[in-house]
Structure 1
């Protein structure tokens, strides 16, 4: 009797009641109210203020032989918690943040249970299992009822024949749920509920497939890749792929916590890029000391197709070319170069032996003398098939890390492979850039040596896409949606820039959609602690003023805020690194004038500001820009014009420091 009284008191303190099989829990600020019912099946609905933003939605697990966790459940234990903590976040968009939530944990008679956490920024739930018995999960029920008239931003699979096998890169279909295509979409995805936007994500994905969604009437329903039964290889990269699947999604080995289903709730678009729920819900750091991890910028070979002008040697995947990249990086204080595909014979899958035109030991020593580290590209499964030997061999040689590519799936075995790579590279003090990967799920909190993820329709697309794939629009959309999940390997830095009327795809001499200043703004707008200068060193050397400006922008910050912006239209981001601030903005193809204010600066302090902005002719020549200097303080207000597809960056330094 005393235990029941304590549970009731705790529920009331968290803002809820316990009537029969209904439970509720509020956010710390009481704005979000989550109601859970376990009468016939597990369902929930959510209110924001006085408005219901998610209608009754069913959840559950279907085990082998069709047994459903969620039907006729008997709750045998109820626990509630009020957690308020500070999370330290190395190499994240801010170095620490407050994590405050109320938790409701229901345990069922059969050893399963479900946990709900409600934050001021949204809510999340996860299933768990407490027994030692091994189980097979045939499917997961995740039927989220938003209403068919609600508009959503959905990134569909790009592979109609094998929809779970693709690179997790696409633009968004902005459509009403009831009018969405009959195709699965990968996460994150956002729904406009009127008084707020709800973004669906996941966190702490461990030994379980990632979640996709598909529109079905009023619902967005969870869909999952099946557990692989047979793997085969594509011959051109020794890349494995799923050839045959089982009829279940996961094999669970005893007591387990299943992934968090995350719903970020944002009443203003400016809250979206800085929502921290995915990171907060992930497992804490497992690798200990992170002092050896060094984020930085990268001089990259692949996007510019190894093009060098005015040199006296044949540019390509060879010793002289990479020494040139190292020299360029060193002169501009760029920390790394990447040796992308071609440094070993991809078809053979023999990563232990570079091609004959490369002397890797010599390049490592050459870079070491110039303070430039080398990161190597590899296919995921090629690394995984000889993981310990590869990591030990190249760490001993002096390689700083790996860029792994072409996972292109997120079934349970793929997720397990990523964790193995993260753990082994951390063991050998190697950084990890996850390319060709599913969206971030907080693993960079658990393994901070993961310093970037792709899963973004990035700059590489400009080599082959069409103007209909509107990249300036995408550039001011994905920071609000995809970046909630974590950092992005967008690979900016194009020095050939096109207006909407003159842009053309070009594989060997690519150009970006939008202005050169739009490209520069990527270095501040995007969370990217391992970011590329994607163009050719000789193109950067032709404009040393611009190159010096972008190469001195930091990649790690103490805090981040979004002063203004609107999804799909424009964004302005402000970040602090020490006592310096960096502010950047981007627009879609619409030119616009914005007014900037600086309330985040210290009161009474004068700052020197240096702005890189679209030139007066940037609407006609997207490469036109200018740099101006001025003084600013916390009370200042300035106007900035953004050309069509334009942008700007402002570097702000206290005058006592700059002088």
Structure 2
């Protein structure tokens, strides 16, 4: 049951302090446990914010403002009122990831100015956030600019995300480089979020944005000092289609957004916690608007047999494999035989070029194929570029509905200006209207759509396994950064599951027959470690059929979770989590290229004895990264288990009560 305790107080309140002086006004909002505080300072018509952890200043006073219709907010306006809200509510996610029940617990204050602008602040035990709100009437408005920076109190080490692409045009598949804030200059490649900051006392600060509608996404630019500046993609004025999928902005307006006078702007969010807390945090999810869907019974997370990564490379069949009816029926049969839920028809099912989206290639009979899949209990997801969907929007949804398509994989957005962010919202809304799932690829990080439109099950925006087709970027070092950075923002379609596995020294890139860097057990562990309610099995059915021991785990592992316990967490080094689904616990552990031994406590188990089935790095894994061992053990609550992880290694276990 949801419970909100509301209260209003002028100038002094529990969890909120306001002091007026001749030279300044100070408004402080504390976390419920009183450890974190976000302070607003209003002096000489300048509003600044400051972030503290206990008495430790994390972000020094930093000016913030909005320019709407060429007027600065709050500008010279005076504070009109201050209100306090204690937020204490229970949220039941439609699609649970970290846990099935979330307590939202925060102190919130709203500082309203006489010119009808306001700043809402919310402080949790594991972070803080603020957002602008305006009440300028229902008329249209132009958001020209937003003043936002992060003036760190020390020259902290950052995990600077360098996205692919150029300018603001990017899939936001970032490499991370640990570097001091002052070493990031204005000429350094600007970064897409989230941005992780090592605070050097056992805690981290992760900065992101939430509820990005009628507005562009948040990017970061260095200054050559300890201050990092926020930058935003401007509103597109003119675009040009390059190839059949890259809709590039070639001319921009001198403003950020076309919006309305009465609205709430995106949250500027700061998750402030330790390494375990980054894995456990639901703060960004709670900031997102609640679900706008009345009926969500049809939303079904699950596992997917994916075609594109493995290049339709079937080897144990007596027909020519490729983009054709027989191949996809084989994928459907594989999915049905191994308790999967969907197949994806990736690029190639329709005739090339955006105007041909609804022209199915002659090798596929789409209605018959979907009927075949549905008769076996398997859903069908169709891939398309964002420009193809946009140019055929109404007709496409009508046709997909007639075919009874179950979901869409929308790719190559490559932008997060207002136009593209609003397009994503409209895709989510329209897909929900037709009871279709959405997987966003080639675009921005999650900013809350997974709560507001829970049919949006996952996003890419990650240096995923597909990178091994042409590079070494998807490797165990990267794999141990992603959960602490990208995954904090929301579900992450990394597309794991490679059955050919290699160490650094003998890895080979192959577009047609790809493999993974790291061990087989490392690949299996990703299915528990990484959150994605729509989770891919990226390799070919032929390889999976040759690996019954691995498929025993992949057939069983869920994609949503009721509870999460973090057993071990070191950013960029190692991670172990226990996640519960129903009466089963699933334990995973992963390491970077450094081998290590971990002691994992089993105190999350209830009293009693349990059977533990495990898959771990094999005795010959140093010679062959695909080597693994499968076994069983009996464990009790309160006991510890010790595991050895090879270089680039992993471990996964399924635990059930005896």
Query: Shared fold by TM > 0.5?
Result: yes
Counterpart residue number, 1:242: 249
Residues of 1 paired with 2:360 and 2:177: CA distance?
42
Say whether residues 1:230 and 2:235 are aligned partners: no
Residues of 1 paired with 2:468 and 2:77: CA distance?
52
Instruction: Give the secondary-structure state (helix, strand or coil) at the position aligned to 1:353.
Output: coil
Residues of 1 paired with 2:354 and 2:638: CA distance?
62
Question: Quick one: which of 265, 268, 274 aligns to 1:261?
Answer: 268
Question: Quick one: which of 175, 183, 195 aligns to 1:171?
Answer: 175
Q: Which aligned pairs between 1:598-637 and structure 2 lie closer than 5 A?
A: 598-603=602-607, 605-637=608-640
Counterpart residue number, 1:107: 112
Q: Deviations over 1:571-597 (max 9, x none)?
A: 001100011100001100000011111
Instruction: Give the secondary-structure state (helix, strand or coil) at the position aligned to 1:7.
Output: coil
**Cα RMSD (Å) of the superposition?**
1.5
Say whether residues 1:201 and 2:208 are aligned partners: yes
Say whether residues 1:380 and 2:382 are aligned partners: no
Q: What's the offset of the Cα at 1:6? A: 6.3
Counterpart residue number, 2:656: 653
Counterpart residue number, 2:313: 307
Q: What's the offset of the Cα at 1:565? A: 1.4
Instruction: Give the secondary-structure state (helix, strand or coil) at the position aligned to 2:174.
Output: coil
Q: Which aligned pairs between 1:97-136 and structure 2 lie closer than 5 A?
A: 97-132=102-137, 133-136=139-142
Q: What's the offset of the Cα at 1:63? A: 3.4
Residues of 1 paired with 2:54 and 2:243: CA distance?
56
CA contact (8 A) 1:15 1:24 kept: yes
Say whether residues 1:13 and 2:14 are aligned partners: yes
Q: Which moved more, 1:423-432 or 1:501-510?
A: 501-510
Say whether residues 1:511 and 2:511 are aligned partners: no
Counterpart residue number, 1:589: 593
CA contact (8 A) 1:409 1:437 kept: yes
Residues of 1 paired with 2:640 and 2:199: CA distance?
33
Residues of 2 paired with 1:421 and 1:208: CA distance?
16
Residues of 2 paired with 1:270 and 1:60: CA distance?
34
Question: Quick one: which of 478, 502, 505 aligns to 1:474?
Answer: 478
Q: What's the offset of the Cα at 1:64? A: 4.3
Q: Which moved more, 1:330-339 or 1:306-315?
A: 306-315
CA contact (8 A) 1:8 1:18 kept: no
Q: What's the offset of the Cα at 1:431? A: 0.6
Question: Quick one: which of 635, 639, 643 aligns to 2:646?
Answer: 643
CA contact (8 A) 1:148 1:219 kept: no
Say whether residues 1:431 and 2:437 are aligned partners: yes
Residues of 2 paired with 1:6 and 1:202: CA distance?
27
Q: Which moved more, 1:452-461 or 1:304-313?
A: 304-313
Residues of 1 paired with 2:16 and 2:431: CA distance?
45
CA contact (8 A) 2:149 2:229 kept: yes
Residues of 2 paired with 1:536 and 1:110: CA distance?
61
Q: What's the offset of the Cα at 1:70? A: 4.0
Mark the CA change 1:15 to 1:207 in structure 2 (over 3 Å): closer, same or farther.
Answer: closer
Q: Deviations over 1:587-640 (max 9, x none)?
A: 00000011111111112x211110000001212210000111011121221110
Residues of 2 paired with 1:118 and 1:348: CA distance?
45
Instruction: Give the secondary-structure state (helix, strand or coil) at the position aligned to 2:543.
Output: helix
Q: Deviations over 1:504-530 (max 9, x none)?
A: 221111111100110000100001110
Q: Which moved more, 1:543-552 or 1:70-79?
A: 70-79
Residues of 1 paired with 2:49 and 2:244: CA distance?
48
Instruction: Give the secondary-structure state (helix, strand or coil) at the position aligned to 1:156.
Output: strand
Q: What's the offset of the Cα at 1:379? A: 1.0
Counterpart residue number, 1:82: 86
Residues of 2 paired with 1:220 and 1:56: CA distance?
13
Q: Which aligned pairs between 1:182-581 and structure 2 lie closer than 5 A?
A: 182-195=188-201, 196-216=203-223, 217-237=225-245, 239-266=246-273, 268-466=274-472, 469=473, 471-581=475-585
Give 5+ residue unaligned stretches, structure 2: 1-6
CA contact (8 A) 2:467 2:474 kept: no
Residues of 1 paired with 2:606 and 2:551: CA distance?
29
Instruction: Give the secondary-structure state (helix, strand or coil) at the position aligned to 1:314.
Output: coil
CA contact (8 A) 2:90 2:103 kept: yes
Could you state the TM-score of these two structures normalised by the residue count of structure 2? Answer: 0.95
Q: What's the offset of the Cα at 1:233? A: 1.5
CA contact (8 A) 2:458 2:533 kept: yes
Residues of 2 paired with 1:8 and 1:131: CA distance?
24
Instruction: Give the secondary-structure state (helix, strand or coil) at the position aligned to 2:504.
Output: coil
Mark the CA change 1:180 to 1:471 in structure 2 (over 3 Å): closer, same or farther.
Answer: farther
CA contact (8 A) 2:529 2:576 kept: yes
Q: What's the offset of the Cα at 1:228? A: 0.6
Q: Which moved more, 1:337-346 or 1:89-98?
A: 89-98
CA contact (8 A) 1:494 1:519 kept: yes
Counterpart residue number, 1:59: 64
Q: What's the offset of the Cα at 1:147? A: 4.3
Q: What's the offset of the Cα at 1:340? A: 0.1
Count of matched residue positions in the alignment of Structure 1 and Structure 2: 642
Q: What's the offset of the Cα at 1:470? A: 6.1
Q: Which moved more, 1:628-637 or 1:347-356?
A: 347-356
CA contact (8 A) 2:568 2:575 kept: yes
Mark the CA change 1:71 to 1:194 in structure 2 (over 3 Å): closer, same or farther.
Answer: farther
Q: Which moved more, 1:449-458 or 1:228-237?
A: 228-237
Residues of 2 paired with 1:457 and 1:464: CA distance?
12
CA contact (8 A) 1:148 1:178 kept: no
Instruction: Give the secondary-structure state (helix, strand or coil) at the position aligned to 2:514.
Output: coil
Q: Which moved more, 1:67-76 or 1:561-570?
A: 67-76
